[in-house]
Amino acid sequence: MITKKLPVLLLLCLLATAGFSQSQTGSLIRIMVSPAKSDMIYPAGEEILFDVAIYKFGKLIPQAAISYTAGPEMVEPTHSGTLTLKDGTGKIKAGKMNAPGFVRCKVTYTENGITYENTGTAGVDPEQIQPTTKLPEDFREFWDAKKRELAAIPLEPTLTLMPEKSTHHSDVYHVSFKNVSGRIYGILTKPKKPGKYPALLVVPGAGVRPYQELHADKDIITLQIGIHGIPVNLYQSSLYQDLAQGALANYNTFNLEDRERYYYKRVYLGCIRAVDFIFSLEAFDGTHIGVMGGSQGGALSIVTASLDNRIKYLVSYYPALSDLTGYLHGRAGGWPHLFKNEYTNQPAKIETSYYYDVVNFARFVNIPGLYSFGFNDNVCPPTSMYAAYNVVQAEKTLSLFKDAAHWRYPEQSQEGDQWMLKKLGVK
C-alpha cells in the first residue's frame, strides 16, 4: 500500500513545487543605491552622498559602468553623470538641498542590451517640511454641512451571507448601504459567537477591484469597503477592469473644478457612512473602533478620523492626496499629482483641492495614530507625506521603513495590524 501511494505523493509534490517556482521572479542584476549616512537624513546645506553597488549572482560586478541622475524627488534632476565602479561599488555626489525635502538618486546600468535601474532617497530635515496647501477659512463649516446632508439620508443596509467565505469562527457578508449619492458596498466579517465586539474599518487603496474578508479568525468585526458604488464580490468578473479602463479611468480628477461635485466628496462621506453602518450592528460594542488603509486608503484613514469623532485609532500607510499643490511651489505634490500639468493647473481646481487635501484633515486629527512609509516612494512622495504628518498635533508614531517604495514589507504590515488590534483589545 505504501509503495503504491509514493508516486502519487511525489507527483503532487513536484506539481506544487513547479507551481511555486513559476510564481517567483527576480532580477539578474541588482543595483543597491542608498544615502551614505546610516540614518539616510542630512541637514540642509550639507553635501549629500549616495553609496552604489552593482551585483550579479550575488557578487559585485567589477568595472560596472553606470549613469545616474539626482535631485529633488519627482521633479527635474539637478545632477547627472556617468561613473565606472572599479570594484563594483562607489559614491555619487548629489549636491546640496538648502530647504527641507528629499533628494532622489536614480542609477542605471545596462548589460547585454538590458537596462536595469534603481533609486535611493535621502531626507533633508524632513521633520521641518511644511505644507504648501492652504486651509480655507470655511473648511470645517463646509464638511460639517456635508455631514448634516449625509445624516438626513436613511442607511437602508443590506447584508447577504457569503457561506463560501464564512469560517467556523466568523460569518462573512456582502453588504451595502446608502451614501450621499448611490450606495457603498463592502465585505463584512463578524464573529459567530454572540457578544459585543470591537470593530475595524479598512478603507481602500486606489483602483477598482473586489475585496476579501479580513480577520475571520479573530474576535473583531471588520468592514472593508469599496468607494465606487459598485458591488465588491464579483471575483471572476471583468467588470472592474472594464470600469478602471473606461468609465472610472482617472476618477480622481472628475469634477475637480467644483468642490460640490468633486469625486472624492462622495468617497469621504462614504467613509463616514461606513462608520454609521458599523454602529448599526448589534454585535458592535459601541466604543472600540479604528480605521486603517494604505495609499488612497492611508489618506482616507486620516480623513475619516478627522471628520468622525467616533473613530478612536488610525493606521495610515503612505497616505496619498497629501499637499497636492506641491508642484505649484517647485516640489513634489501628493498622488494623484494633480497639478503637474497645465490641464489641472487652473484656479478653480486648485481652490477645490484645498477642501480635499489630506494635510487639512490631518490638522484636526485628535486621536492616536500609527503612520508608516518609506523614503523611496515614487507614487506618494515622502515630501508630501511629511507635510501631512508634521501638522498632526495628536499622539502619533512614525514608523519609517526608509528604503521602501510604494509597497510594504510584511513586517511593516504586521506592525500596523498588531498596533491596531492591541489598541482595540483584540488578542
* pLDDT, tens digit, 9 for 90 and up, residues 113-138: 999 999 999 999 999 999 999 999 99
333: cell is 505634490
> Dihedral of the CA atoms 351, 356, 359, 361 (nearest 10)?
130
* pLDDT, tens digit, 9 for 90 and up, residues 243-258: 999 999 999 999 999 9
Q: Exposed, middle or buried: residue 30 (CB in 10 Å: 0-12, 13-18, 19+)? A: middle
pLDDT over 60 (residue 2): no
Average pLDDT value for residue range 182-210: 98
Instruction: Please tell me the distance from the alpha carbon of residue 53 to that of residue 17, in angstroms, as a whole number.
Output: 33
Contact in structure between 122 and 41 (CB atoms under 8 Å): yes
pLDDT over 60 (residue 20): no
- pLDDT of 345 reads 83
Residues with catalytic roles: 295, 377, 406
H or E stretch at 383: helix 382-389
- pLDDT of 96 reads 95
Percentage of the chain exceeding pLDDT 90: 92
Average pLDDT value for residue range 296-315: 98
**Single-letter amino acid, residue 24:** Q
Right CATH for 29-124 from 2.60.40.1930, 3.40.640.10, 1.10.3720.10, 2.60.40.10: 2.60.40.1930
Say which CATH class 139-423 falls into: alpha beta
Decide which of 14 and 130 is more confident.
Answer: 130
Mean pLDDT of the chain: 94
334 band by pLDDT with thresholds 50, 70 and 90? very high
Domain ranges of the chain: 29-124, 139-423
- Full 3-state SS string of 228-251: CCCCCCCCCCCHHHHHHHCCCCCH
- pLDDT of 26 reads 82
Contact in structure between 420 and 312 (CB atoms under 8 Å): no
Phi/psi for 263 (5° steps) reads -55, -40
pLDDT over 80 (residue 390): yes
Q: What is the pTM of this model?
A: 0.93
Average pLDDT value for residue range 23-32: 86
